Amino acid sequence: MLQLAYMSASTPKSPDVHTLSRQASSRNFAEEITGVLLHRNGHFLHIIEGPKEYVENLFLRIIADDRHKNLHLIFRKIVTRRQFSSSSMMIPTSALDKNKNIDMVRDAMACTASDVRISFESIFGLEA
């Protein structure tokens, strides 16, 4: 199973994260893709996981999508189990959901360089 994360900047064409999630949910479910999508301060952080072929194909579609710009791959790694298994694409809504998902995102990003983690925490308004 493949897990990857990227950050990008939103554009005027970017719908809100709930619209994005609704648009992708049936395809993600069919392709067994799960993850989390965060949006704050004009930036997206998206972690996706699932069967390698499907995740790679989704990422190629994302790269070509003009609803965001300045896309940066944060990590790409093989994992043995899902970290975000409760839905096809989690979008935190309550404060409790946000805290839980931020903790899971921090865990997933533990493999990244410190400057990437600092950038993530700065963009999403978190304490280091």
pLDDT digits 0-9 by tens, 41-91: 788 888 899 999 999 999 999 999 888 889 989 889 999 988 877 655 555
| Cα–Cα distances in angstroms (integers) from residue 106 to residues 12, 25, 53, 66, 67, in the given order | 28, 24, 25, 27, 25
User: Strand pairing partners for 40?
Assistant: 43
Q: Options 3.40.50.1100, 3.30.70.100, 3.30.260.10, 3.40.50.2300; which CATH number does 2-123 get? A: 3.30.70.100
Q: Is the pTM of this model over 0.85?
A: no
